[in-house]
Amino acid sequence: MRNNSKKILIVEDDYNFGSILRDYLTLNSYKVVLATNGKDGYNKCFSDDFDLCILDVMMPYKDGFTLAKEIREKKEDLPIVFLTAKTLKEDVLRGFKIGADDYLTKPFDSEVLLAKIKAILKRRNLIKVPEVEEFLFEIGKYNFNSKLRLLSYQSNDSIKLSPKESQLLRLLILYKNDLLPRSIALSKIWRDESYFTSRSMDVYIAKLRKILEEDKDIEIQNVHGEGFRLIVN
């Protein structure tokens, strides 16, 4: 499979190691840009459009954690993978708290990195949802303001949804009468696809069913093994 449209930024202060990694990914049909310190990485990241960033942690001028925070402030959906010799649990957890998509400690198997890159990019494509500026919705007899998280029935008093209830309802509306894949909701709202997170989402689906039960023309269907469908008759 060719990846001509996928561009990767590597920020690694060990030029020899960075060059080997760049050449390896280039051989696997990725477009790769190499920066050799955090400051250079910052400038290159925001002067082009990248599909994924690979960051070393220990670098001159700006370390990888600081760079990742700055990237997250402006490009919150850009995948980040940390490569580092640091194996302390605290450092790994810090990387994930910043918003890393994965974390590999040196030395590592280049084929494992390649597999992780493919998985992250595939997941990123899956979580792209319809982009709409609209935040006022009509769902049957309900009115929903996703910005204020307010839901009202037949113009009666509004109830305020929790942040996750609101996000999940908005996604269901965007996919109204169509399948909302479970993976999209988990990645977009929870940024995780673990078993326990999946069970948590099921709880929120049950809550939304209860909230919307006054309108008998609305139904949230469970499509086994695939996701959910908001049906509005």
Q: How confident is the model at residue 81 (pLDDT cuts 50, 70, 90)?
A: very high
pLDDT digits (tens, 9 = 90+) for 108-154: 888 989 988 988 887 776 555 555 567 899 999 999 999 999 999 98
Long-range pairs for 63-68: beta carbons < 8 A, 24 or more residues apart:
63/38, 64/11, 64/38, 65/94, 65/95, 65/98, 66/38, 67/11, 67/38, 67/41, 67/42, 68/95, 68/98, 68/99, 68/100
CA dist 35 and 40 (Å) reads 6
pLDDT score of 91: 76
Alpha helix ranges (H) inside 127-187: 163-174, 182-185
pLDDT higher for 221 or 189? Answer: 221
Is a pLDDT exceeding 80 seen at residue 13?
yes
Rounded to an integer, what distance in angstroms lies between the CA atom of residue 200 and that of residue 198? 5
Domains (range + CATH), the chain: 7-126 (3.40.50.2300), 136-232 (1.10.10.10)
* Model pTM score: 0.56
Looking at per-residue confidence, does 123 or 45 come out higher?
A: 45
Q: Is the pLDDT of residue 227 over 80?
A: yes
pLDDT range class, residue 230, cuts 50, 70, 90: very high
